[in-house]
Every structure is written in C-alpha cells, then in structure tokens.
Amino acid sequence: MSFMNLVIFAGNLGGDPEVKNVGNSVVTTFSVATTETYKDKSTGEKKSNTDWHNCVAWGRTAEFIGKYAHKGTKALIKGSLHYKTYENKDGNKVTKAEIKLAPFGGFTPFNMQKTSESNHMNFAEKYTNKVTENDEDNIPF
C-alpha cells in the first residue's frame, strides 16, 4: 500500500534564499514563517504562535526562487516532508525537518509586483514545459 506525503502552507520567507550549484543542478534553501493567531480562552487575549519551516527546491524552481524571491515574499508552498539526520559540531545526533518543494507548482508567490515587460519574467513561459505546434504530433491521444 502506498501513502501520500503532501504539505501545503502559505507564509513569508524569513530571509533571502541561498542558491548553490550542486553538480549540474541548482538547489535553493530558504525558511518560511507561518503564524497562527488565536484567542486565549482564559484571558480572552489575542495571541499568536509562529513556526519556521526549512524548505529546499531543485532545478528550475530553485532558479526562480533564487532570482525572484527575497526576505518577506509571501508564497504558497507545496511539497513533501522529509527528515535529515546529521551529527552537529558537538557530536550530537540532530534530526531536522525539511520541506522538499514539488517541481511544478511547489512555489507560488502572491505579492510579487510586475515591473516593466523587459524586467518581468513570466514564470509559466520560462519554467514549465510547453507544448509547441511540432509537439502536437507526438501526443498519444
């Protein structure tokens, strides 16, 4: 039996993304803050709790995030939850949760402003696979 590992949330980037080249690919890491607001039952006071999520993206999604996202960018994140275990500098075993973004639709910004046409990149045109007229002959239906 197979199970699904899917995480979806919206939040703000906590800092500028870090972009690295790994072999022939690009990887971008960044953190996203989500804040839950609630009313304290005993005092009636409005309170909030912020959680930080470590995220990683690869390939074209990583390139896009590295180029166009920055600290404070609001985004919808879709991906899968993974755990990395490593030994820290003190020799202690540490487990870290990380969201691996889906390759398509894993990062959807919703507060990026359009600039002039020459400076603005259409994400759908540049970073997704498009079917051209020549490709239509190869579609099996």
For residues 124 and 130, give the distance between their C-alpha atoms in angstroms, rounded to a whole number. 9
Identify the band that residue 119 occupies on the pLDDT scale cut at 50, 70 and 90. very low
For residues 136 and 52, give the distance between their C-alpha atoms in angstroms, rounded to a whole number. 44
Identify the band that residue 140 occupies on the pLDDT scale cut at 50, 70 and 90. very low
Among the residue ranges 24-33, 39-48, 110-119, the one predicted with the least confidence is 110-119
> What are the tokens at 114?
């359009």
For residues 64 and 114, give the distance between their C-alpha atoms in angstroms, rounded to a whole number. 15
For residues 103 and 60, give the distance between their C-alpha atoms in angstroms, rounded to a whole number. 8
Task: Indicate if the alpha-carbon torsion angle 131, 132, 133, 136 is positive or negative.
Answer: negative
Identify the band that residue 86 occupies on the pLDDT scale cut at 50, 70 and 90. very high
For residue 69, the tally of other CB atoms under 10 A from its CB is 20
Q: What's the mean pLDDT in 5-10?
A: 96
Among the residue ranges 2-6, 25-29, 75-79, the one predicted with the least confidence is 2-6
Q: What's at 99, amino acid-wise?
A: I
For residues 70 and 35, give the distance between their C-alpha atoms in angstroms, rounded to a whole number. 18
Nearest to 52 by CA among 85, 15, 83: 15
Give pTM, 2 decimals.
0.74
Residue-wise pLDDT for 47-76, tens only, equals 999 999 999 999 999 999 999 999 999 999
Residue-wise pLDDT for 11-41, tens only, equals 999 999 999 999 999 999 999 999 999 999 9
